[in-house]
Every structure is written in C-alpha cells, then in structure tokens.
Amino acid sequence: MKKILILLICILLMGCEDKKSLVSYINQDEALISISYPITNINVLDDKITGYVHQAYNEFKNMSSSDVPELNISYTYKEVNTDIVSVSLQTEIVTDKRVNKIKTFTYNKSNDKFLTMEDIVSDLDALDYDIKKELLIKYQDADMDYLSNISYDYFTVDDENLTIYFNPAEIKSNYDNLIYLDIPLNSMDLLIDVDKSEEEKTYLSIKKKNVSLDDKVVALTFDDGPSKYTNKILDVLKKYDACGTFFVVGNRVNFYKEQLKRTLNEGSEIGNHSYDHKLLTRLSKEEFQSEVNKTQEQIVKATGFTPTLFRPTYGGYTNTLKGYTDLTFVLWDVDSRDWQVKSKDKILKNILPNVKSGSIILMHDGLPYGLNALEDVLSDLKNKGYKFVTVSELLELKKLRES
C-alpha cells in the first residue's frame, strides 16, 4: 500500500476532539478502508479502543492479497446506565479470504472497572446450558467438543438484550461471519441496572422547494456522515438558501441524531449509504439486505423519516443487488474527489466546469476538505442561476420534464 495511505491511517488513529465517532473514508486503488469508532472521553477505555484499532489495521497491512483488499471497522455504543458504557468493535478484513472479528468493552465509570459476564449475570452457570442449547439450534453444525470450552468474553448490553458474540472457530462452524446470541434481559437476573429508552417522537419530512420545470437545478450530495462536520455543512447550506442529500452510514446515526433532525428541518434529505460501509458487491443477498435494513431502522428511529434513496458504497453495485431492495439507487455525474485531492482549488476545478442542469454532485461529510470549498461552490452556482434541490426532487423534476 502507498505510504500516503499509511500516513492517513496514522492521522486517523490519533483520536478526535469530542465524544463523537471519528470517521474516515479512504478509497485507494490498493485498498478500500472504512474505520469508525467512538471517543468516549474515558481515558482508559479510549486507550483500549484505539489500541485495538491500531492492532486490526496493522494486521490488515501485513496481509497479502491478489485482489483489492478491504478493511471495515464499525462500532456500537450504548450507555447502559449513568455509570456503565458498552462498546463493541467489529472488524472485517477481506483479502484472499474473509476474516470477521469482534472486540467488546463494558466499562463501569463508578469503580473504574472493565466488567466481565460474571459482573453482569447473577448465575452464569445456570445460563450456560441455555446458551449452548440455543447455539446448537441457531448453528446446527456446531461441535459439542468446542462448545464445552467456549468463553463469554465478548458481549454488549442494551435496553433489551444481552448480546454474546463468539468467533466462528469457537464452535467449529463453517460460517465466516460472527456468531452471536441475543438474550432478552427479562429472561435473566442481572447484577446491574439498565436504563430503558423511551420511544422517540417521529420527526418531520423534508420541505418542498418552489421550483419550476424551466429552472436550472443541481443536487448536492454528501456521503459517509453524519459527523462532527454535518452542522457546519448545514450552516453553509442555510446561508445560501440551499439544501443537500445526505447519504448516511447506519452505525453513525445514533451519535448524531440532532444533526439529522436539523438536516430534515432545514429542507435537506437523508439517504441510505449502508450500515458498515462495506463493498456491497462482495456481500450475499442476506448480508446486503441487512446493511440496508439496519440503516433504515436507525434513521426512522432517530428522525421518523424513511429514506427512499440508496447510494452504493464506493459506487459499486450490480443489477442483482438493485433487485434486493425497493430503494432507488443514486450515483453522480460530478465527482469532487474531495477525499483524494484535499485541496480547495482542486475540488472547485473538479466540480464547477462539469456542472450542468440536472447534475448530481458528490462530496463527503466527515472530511474538512469539501467543507472548505462548499461556500465557493454554492456562491458560483447561485450566481450562474442554479437552484438547489434534493435528489428526490431532482428525480421528480426529470420525470415531469420527460412527460
């Protein structure tokens, strides 16, 4: 891999400035990399998290591959109660083979202690039989000799379930995906309190713009968010009475609910960009549908808005994949390449000469480079008479014009 790629990852792993997920989207010919993890501001926990991410990246870097290698690190984050935080880091490495791994941390801030299953469940021995029974039902090729030695090192807790993860080798399974069981909290005695989340009220849909069939229109799109930059993007859009379509990654939605609500409130649109930012063409039907459906669920739960648009990660898809969902696939005809050129002037050169009425412009949330150029893009296009619409509105206009 190129030295520049390694340098970017080193910068990525240094941390971030607030309690938000640090997101990087790097698309190189040599590797496809998507890394996301939470910064909790709990030093000992953050050290464990970043240490694991360093280790996973180094393992990926040292693997050889005859194809374009891929690294995905995603997370879940849950504040179990006022003291306990539960974090999982799921790693998928695709080279000449696929490797899936899980690492979890459950930390009690009140006593500065990483919790084990014995700290969570009052009678783990009594639960052990039921767990192994359920594993044999869910994974029928499990080997009882292996099951007798399995550990309960990897688990997370939310307001409904205790989820226990196992690496495939632990049960001698033919699966290369992670193996897990969801155990309802109401079916066991817990040694900790769990905060139950209240149902959130649904939010509003996007506003409609006053656009005529003869207007020059353009749709700005922002991939890979939401992020700590989303509000700054929205500030610039608001200044120019503009809007955008934000194609969001599902595992980041919970950290940025307010930004997504604001996105809709100010007339922009939310689209689906998968849950873990994996290369979709490598996924089975079930894996692809899981990526789409989990993201839909997170967006609806956070905002009440149901996306109708889907942007495939890295722009890669097949007609077969399109048949697995009712969402409309959306690509672009103007690519800022902001993730690559990292220069305001180069981003403007990639965008402005190539825009025409009906264009869809690709930019990225989560990176500062496109944000630095966004105001000049909006100012130039507005001066040229363009109006800004969401992708859904653009598609609607195209149908009306064709009819």
Q: For residue 222, which phi and psi values (nearest 5 degrees)?
A: -130, 115
pTM attached to this predicted model: 0.82
Instruction: Let me know whether 161 and 291 are in one domain.
Output: no
Instruction: Let me know whether 125 and 96 are in one domain.
Output: no
CB 68 within 8 Å of CB 31: yes
**Domain end residue (candidates: 71, 103, 135):** 103
CA 239 to chain centre: 28
Is residue 198 one of the residues assigned to a domain? no
Beta carbons within 8 Å of 134's beta carbon, 6+ residues apart: 181
Instruction: Let me know whether 93 and 127 are in one domain.
Output: no
pLDDT at position 12, please?
43
Please state, in angstroms and rounded to a whole number, the distance separating the CA atoms of residues 366 and 339.
10
User: Mean pLDDT across the stretch 46-69?
Assistant: 89
Residue ranges with strand state E in 210-344? 216-225, 245-248, 269-272, 309-310, 328-329, 334-335
Is residue 112 one of the residues assigned to a domain? no
Instruction: Let me know whether 39 and 89 are in one domain.
Output: yes
Instruction: Let me know whether 161 and 259 are in one domain.
Output: no
Instruction: Let me know whether 62 and 134 are in one domain.
Output: no
3-state secondary structure of 163: strand
Is residue 208 one of the residues assigned to a domain? no
Instruction: Let me know whether 370 and 303 are in one domain.
Output: yes
What are 132-183's pLDDT values in tens digits?
Answer: 888 778 777 766 666 667 788 999 998 888 999 987 766 666 667 788 888 8
Instruction: Let me know whether 160 and 300 are in one domain.
Output: no
Instruction: Let me know whether 291 and 389 are in one domain.
Output: yes
Instruction: Let me know whether 291 and 180 are in one domain.
Output: no
**Domain end residue (candidates: 41, 74, 103):** 103
Number of separate domains in the chain:
3
Instruction: Let me know whether 388 and 251 are in one domain.
Output: yes
Q: What is the bridge-based pairing of β-strands 245-248 and 216-225?
A: parallel
Residues classed as catalytic: 223, 364
What are 283-328's pLDDT values in tens digits?
Answer: 999 999 999 999 999 999 999 999 999 999 999 999 999 999 999 9
Instruction: Let me know whether 233 and 365 are in one domain.
Output: yes
Is residue 394 one of the residues assigned to a domain? yes
Neighbours of 245 (CB within 10 A): 26
Is residue 110 one of the residues assigned to a domain? no
Please state, in angstroms and rounded to a whole number, the distance separating the CA atoms of residues 366 and 188.
41
Is residue 7 one of the residues assigned to a domain? yes
Q: Write the CATH number for 302.
A: 3.20.20.370
**Domain end residue (candidates: 103, 137, 156):** 103
Structural domain including 25 reads 3-103
